[in-house]
Amino acid sequence: MVVQQISPVNCPNCKAQFTAPIQNIINGQDLAAKSAFLQGRFNTVQCPQCGYTGAPSTPLYYFDLEKELALVFVPSQLGLLGNDQQKIIGDLTNRVIKSLPTEQQKFFLFNPKSFLTLDGMIKAILEADGITEDMIKAQEAHIKLIEEFFKAPDEATLKKQIKAHDAELDRQFFEILTAYMQTAQMAGDQQRTQAFLTMRTLAARWSSNGKKIVAEIDQELGLVMLENQEELLKRLQTAKNDAEFEQLVAAGHAFLDYGFFVQITGKIDEATKNGDTKTAASLTSLRERILQTKSRQEEASKAALEKAGKILEEILKSDRPDKVIDKHLDSLTDAFFFVLEMNIEEATKQGHTEAAQAMQMIGNIAVSKLQQKHGPPQQSTGEQPTQAPSPAAADDTPKIHIARR
């Protein structure tokens, strides 16, 4: 049920008074509303006079039946005295109760905890999600540092800044940077993904512990970061075992194009010409192994993408996407996020902003549920989207084909 009222609003910028549809009640189980509120996008209105955009100060009642939360905020800017405040809280409480079926009219809803600041209310909501104030503070400091680094006018300055903050570049710092990178990639934003990857690479290179921490994070998340074809070839040649080889082929999928194989063939011809039969034989078998692995992965990835597409469809059609996500949580692999990313990109391109936002939300919910269950999301986010769908080989003979970009 949408609880929305046309209310008078005072523009904080030009003081003009106008009316706008304002919601005073947030159901914490409505994840779109919850995330809009936590990100400061709830009740955003634009002043018709001066164009200022923001959320007006308004009384808010936040409740979450699952977490048994009932919180209320009456902004002090409204200048209300005790009795009037109590009346507003009472009115909001009644509206919440009336909006719910009898069996959901729980006792705690009648006695909401009141907050003097919006910040305090947001902290209480995050705390109920298991995010403490200390965690928030440490995270805020790291985010500020990342923002500062991005403002550096050139690499020399950045290097100086990174060295000056060496002690702060800890595990959490690199985890946040990695999460930004993954979020950007999930949103299909290649430019931002690349920017965060570059920042992470430089911060790792110029800090004392960065390289080791980044290697640990990538190993735990199953991330393989490849700079170019040369690096991929070198790492394939020195792969310690089958698992590493498989992972490199998957992460380097976009690099394994026609040019890559032409390059290997050139090296084989050269070795043969020089009478180096050992190198020629080893490169030939490497080429064969790469082709076979790639072709097998493409088959598997095609099947995984089909399955992911079906899950996404089921989520999109449901009234309770969160429940469907719960049901399929174990099947939400990187194929799912890849399909989601492609769909978001497509919806954005077509101008279906709401559909794109809804899918973005589904991605956020899925990631947060996976994080609750396993820790950080298990996606192999390479520099390029891994295992892009490619035409599968029609017969058993491995074929060289150019990777679709």
Interacting residues with Zn ion (CB under 5 A): 11, 13-14, 16, 47, 49-50, 52
- HSE at residue 317, side-chain half, CA atoms within 13 A, is 6
Nearest distance from residue 55's CB to Zn ion, in Å?
Answer: 14
Cβ proximity of 316 and 286 under 8 Å = no
Is residue 100 exposed (0-12), middle (13-18) or buried (19+ Cβ within 10 Å)?
middle
CA distance 92 to 76: 17
**What is the nearest approach in angstroms of Zn ion to the Cβ of residue 20?**
12
Q: Which of these, 141, 143, 131, 123, lies nearest to 37 by C-alpha position?
A: 123
Instruction: Kindly state the DSSP code that residue 402 receives in the 8-state scheme.
Output: P
Q: State how far the Cα of 144 lies from the Cα of 138, in Å rounded to an integer.
A: 10
Residue 235's CB is within 10 A of a number of other CB atoms, namely: 17
Closer residue to Zn ion (CB): 16 or 303: 16
CB of 50 to Zn ion, least distance (A): 3
Residue found under tokens 């469809």: 313
Name which of 50 and 215 has its Cβ closer to Zn ion. 50
Contact 19, 8 (CB under 8 A): yes
Cβ proximity to Zn ion, 43 vs 343, nearer residue: 43
Nearer residue to Zn ion within complex by CB, 48 or 375: 48
Least CB distance from residue 13 to Zn ion, whole Å? Answer: 4
Smaller CB separation from Zn ion, 11 or 45: 11
C-beta of 52 vs 261, nearer to Zn ion: 52
Shortest CB 11 distance to Zn ion, Å: 3
Rounded to a whole number of angstroms, the minimum distance from the CB of residue 46 to Zn ion is 9
Distance CA 373, CA 375 (A): 6
Could you tell me which residues come within 8 angstroms of residue 150 by beta carbon, excluding any fewer than 6 positions away?
Answer: 195, 199
State whether the Cα torsion 339-340-344-345 is positive or negative: negative
Nearest CB to Zn ion, comparing residues 47 and 362: 47
- Given the complex with Zn ion, which of 12 and 21 has the nearer CB atom? 12
The answer to whether 9 touches 3, Cβ cutoff 8 Å, is no
Pick from 359, 251, 364: which is nearest to 297 by CA? 251
Tokens of 202: 């430089």
Question: Nearest distance from residue 10's CB to Zn ion, in Å?
Answer: 9
Q: What's the token pair of residue 197? A: 């990857």
**Closer by beta carbon to Zn ion, 57 or else 357:** 57
d(CA 6, CA 324): 34
**Shortest distance in whole angstroms from residue 76 CB to Zn ion:** 21
Torsion angles phi and psi, residue 72, rounded to 5: -135, 145
Nearest distance in Å: CB 197, Zn ion: 40
